[in-house]
Structures are given as C-alpha cells and as structure tokens.
Amino acid sequence: QEQLVESGGGLVQAGGSRRLSCAASGHIFGTYGMGWFRQAPGKEREFVATVNWSGGTAYADSVKGRFAISRDFARNTVWLQMNSLKPEDTALYYCAASPKTLATMQSEYTYWGQGTPVTVSS
C-alpha cells in the first residue's frame, strides 16, 4: 500500500487559488510531521511548508501569507491551500513525512509521495 498520495494539482491562472491534498496511512500521519516540497523544472527541490503533531507550522519565505498547511487526524489527510498564485509557483508538489518536528530539509523526511503538478499561467 502507498503511504502518501497527493492530489489536487492542475492548471490555475495567476492570482487564483488551489488546494492540494495528501492522503497518508494512519500510523505515519499520527507519528510524523507532514510537509510539502516543490520542484520546478531545472531547479532543486525546495521546502514549502510543514505541520507538526501539535498543529504548529512553518513556511518558506516565498509562500508566507499566501499558502496554508493544515492536517486532519480523523481523515489522515494534510492539505496545502495555495492563494494568490504566481507563475513562479509552477512546480511538481510533493507531500512528505518526517520523524522530526517542523523539519525543512529534504534529508529529514522519510516518506515521499509521487507528486502532483501545479501550473500557474499569466
């Protein structure tokens, strides 16, 4: 069984909104911090946002004030609400799980989803 499965990606106009979803298995969701990363064409994968077991969050400076991460323990799901989208937000977005709290580095994450693409057009 797959541990993390992202969905919700697609095409959106600049200034618009999109919400990504990540479904996780219960044992992972309940004991790991969850995060979102993204990788644009020709660029390195970068941290976007993370939420810990207690609901604490951390965001990359590039998305602060525009994106919001949240998790639902009952549904074993983590969301990434993206508002005021810019063309530079275009990337493959990955959901990931980490045993550390509010981790921001790729090496700190143990499980990864396959990614869901988001394209923002002008």
Which CA distances in Å does 28 have to 4, 74, 112?
9, 13, 11
Q: Give 40's contacts (C-beta < 8 A, 6+ positions apart).
A: 88, 90, 91, 92
- pLDDT, one tens digit per residue, over 33-84 is 999 999 999 999 999 999 998 889 999 999 999 999 999 888 889 999 999 9
- pLDDT, one tens digit per residue, over 102-122 is 999 999 999 999 999 999 999
